[in-house]
Structure 1
Amino acid sequence: MQMLRFTLPLLAGLLLTACSSEPIKKPVKGENFNSAELGQTASNRMANLAMRDNLASLQTLLDKLYRRNPSQWRNGGHDSRETAVHQIMQAIRLNQPLPQLGKVRSTAALTTAFDPQFTGDRAGTLVFGLGSMLVDVYGGRTELYLVHGLNAQQLENAAYNVEVAAWLLGQRKNADGSLMLLANEISPQQRNLSFEREMSKIMARLELLAEVSDEKVRRSAIDFGQSLLAAPLLQFIPVQAATSAVPAP
C-alpha cells in the first residue's frame, strides 16, 4: 500500500509546522480494565483504539469548523454550536441517521457537503459523512470483538476518501469565489493547519489498520509456528526451587 509512506511523513510535517495553537505534550495513559476486553483480540483492541481516536479527531474537526463557520450550525437548525456537535457525534456513535439528511450518509453525505446546490449544514454533513463511513467500515459498530474483522481494502478506500475530503475542504468554492467552508489558513498574520492535521491523523490510523489487517492471516500463521518452536523450551520447575524461594517467617 503506497499511501502510508506519504501519509505518515505528511502527518509528521504538519505536527512540526506552525499552527494556530502550540503543540501540547500528552502523557500516555491507558484506559481502565473493562471486562468486555476479554472478548477482544489484540487486533480488535488496536482497531477499537483507532476508532476512539478517530471519533475524537472528528469531534475536534467539527468544533473547529463551526467556530470558523458559525452560519453552518444555524443552517442545520441547531440552537448552539455545542448542541450541533453533540447531536452529530451522537448520531455517528449510535449509527443513526441525521434528521436533516434523511437516509444520506457515508460517501453520499460527503458528496452532499460539497454540492453547490446544498443549502444545509455543510460542516455537519461533512463530518457526519466521514464518521458514518468509518462506522460502515467497522460493520455498523464502533467496537470490534472476536467474531469481527476488518477489510484491508475498505480501510484503504476510507483513508483515500478522507484525503479527498481534505483536498476539497481547501479547494471547493461557491459561485462568488469564496470557499464553501473556511478551514486551513496561511497568511502573513496567521498559519493555521490544524484542520489538515486532524484529517491527517485519521488517514494515518486508517492506513496503519489497513496494513495490519492485510497481514492478519500471515501473522496468525507465524504466531502459531512460533508457539510450536517455543514449546520444547518450556520446562517444569522443581517444587523445591519454588518453596526455597519463599522467605522464612
Structure 2
Amino acid sequence: MKKYLRGWLALLVLAGAGCKPTPPVNGHIVPEAKLTKGQLVQSDPNRMANLELRNNLDALYLLMDKLYKRNPSEWKKGGAPSREEAEARVRNAIDQHTPLAGLDARDTKAMQLAFDPHFKGDRIATLIYGLGDMLITAHGGKRVLYLIDGLDAQRVYNAARNVEIAMWLLSQRKDNAGHPLLLSNALSEEGQNLSFERLFGGIIGRTDLVAEFTAEKYRRAVIDYGQSFFGGQFLQFLPVSEVAGAASSL
C-alpha cells in the first residue's frame, strides 16, 4: 500500500512541476490586465479586440513621440506651445474619438492629407490622428467593446491594409526637392534604425489577427454547438444501476 502511495505522490509532484509557469527572462513577463467590472460583460472576442486596440494605440503614441524627435520642426506647425502639448492634443482627440482641433479631416482623409506635399500643417499630428481615428472607426467607433457590440471583420482587415500603406508612404513620399516628407527609419554606415518599421509591423499583425479571429468566430460557434450537441447526446455514459436510473428519471 505504501508503495502505491509513494507512486501517487510522485505523480502529483511531476504534475505540479509540469504546471509550473515558465520563469521570466531578464524581467520580461507576459503583461496581464487587472480584472475590472467591465470584463464581466465582455466575451472572449471582445476582450481580444480591446487588447488589440489598446496596444495598437499605445504603439501609435510611441510612433508619434519618435517621429517628433526625428522631425522637431513639425509640432510647431500646429500651434502647440511644446512637443508634449502637441502629443497630448492628438492623444485626447483619438481617445475621445473627436475631431482634432484645427484639422478638417478624419481617419483615412487625414492620413492622405499628411502625405500631401503641399500640406503646411503638422504632418505628424495629422498622420497619427488619422491612423488612430481610422482604427477606432474600424472597430465600430468604440475603444472598448462589450457583449452587445460586434465587429466587421472586413473593416478591421481593411484597417490593417491602410496601416501598411501608411508605412510605405512614410518611407517613400518626398517633397518637390526630393527630401522625405518625414524622417523615420535610418540606414547609415553607423547602423540601422528600423524601430518605426517594427512598431508598424506590430500594429498590422495584431489587427490582422483580430480580423481573422472575428471572421472565424461565427464558423466556430456552429462547430462548438455541433460538438456540444453530439457530445451531450452520444458521448455521455448511460446509467446501468437502479439508483442511477431512478436519479436520471427525476
TM-score between the two structures when normalised by the length of structure 2: 0.81
Residues 66 and 219 of structure 1, relative CA distance in 2, 3 Å threshold: same
Q: Does 1:189 align with 2:190?
A: yes
Structure-to-structure mapping, 1:66-145, within 5 angstroms: 66-102=68-104, 104-145=105-146
**What residue in structure 2 maps to residue 51 of structure 1?**
53
Q: Which amino acid aligns with 1:213?
A: T
Determine the structure 2 residue equivalent to 1:224.
225
Whole-Å separation in 1 of the counterparts to 2:84 and 2:236? 59
CA distance in 2, matches of 1:234, 1:177: 76
Distance 1:132 1:179 in 2: 24
Instruction: Give the % identical residues.
Output: 47
- Residue identity in the other structure for 1:212: F
Mind listing any 5+ residue stretches in structure 2 that lack a counterpart? 1-25, 239-250
Aligned counterparts of 1:65 and 1:168: Cα–Cα separation in 2: 14
> Alpha-carbon deviation of 1:210?
1.0
1:160 paired residue number? 161
Which of structures 1 and 2 has the larger relative contact order (alpha carbons within 8 angstroms, sep 6+)? Answer: 1
Counterpart for residue 248 of structure 2:
none
SS of structure 1 residue aligned to 2:175:
coil
Whole-angstrom distance in 2 between the partners of 1:138 and 1:30: 22
Gaps of 5+ in 1: 1-23, 236-249
- Give the Å deviation of 1:136: 0.5
Moved more, 61-70 or 151-160: 151-160
Where does residue 208 of structure 2 map in the other structure?
A: 207
Closer, same or farther: CA 97–25 of 1 in aligned 2, 3 Å: farther
Distance 1:132 1:57 in 2: 14
- Within 2, Cα distance between the matches of 1:169 and 1:25? 34
Q: Which amino acid aligns with 1:84?
A: A
Pick the structure with greater CA Rg: 2
Alignment partners' CA distance in 1, 2:176 and 2:237: 72
Please report the RMSD computed on the Cα atoms of aligned residues, expressed in angstroms.
Answer: 1.7
Corresponding residue for residue 171 of structure 2: 170
CA distance in 2, matches of 1:25, 1:79: 38
Question: Alignment length, in residue pairs?
Answer: 212
Counterpart position of 1:11: none
| Bigger shift: residues 62-71 or 215-224 | 215-224
Q: Give the deviation of 1:29 after TM superposition.
A: 2.6
Query: Distance between the aligned counterparts of 1:25 and 1:229, measured in 2?
Result: 46
1:23-58: CA deviation from partner (whole Å, max 9, x where unpaired): x87311311110111111000000000001000000
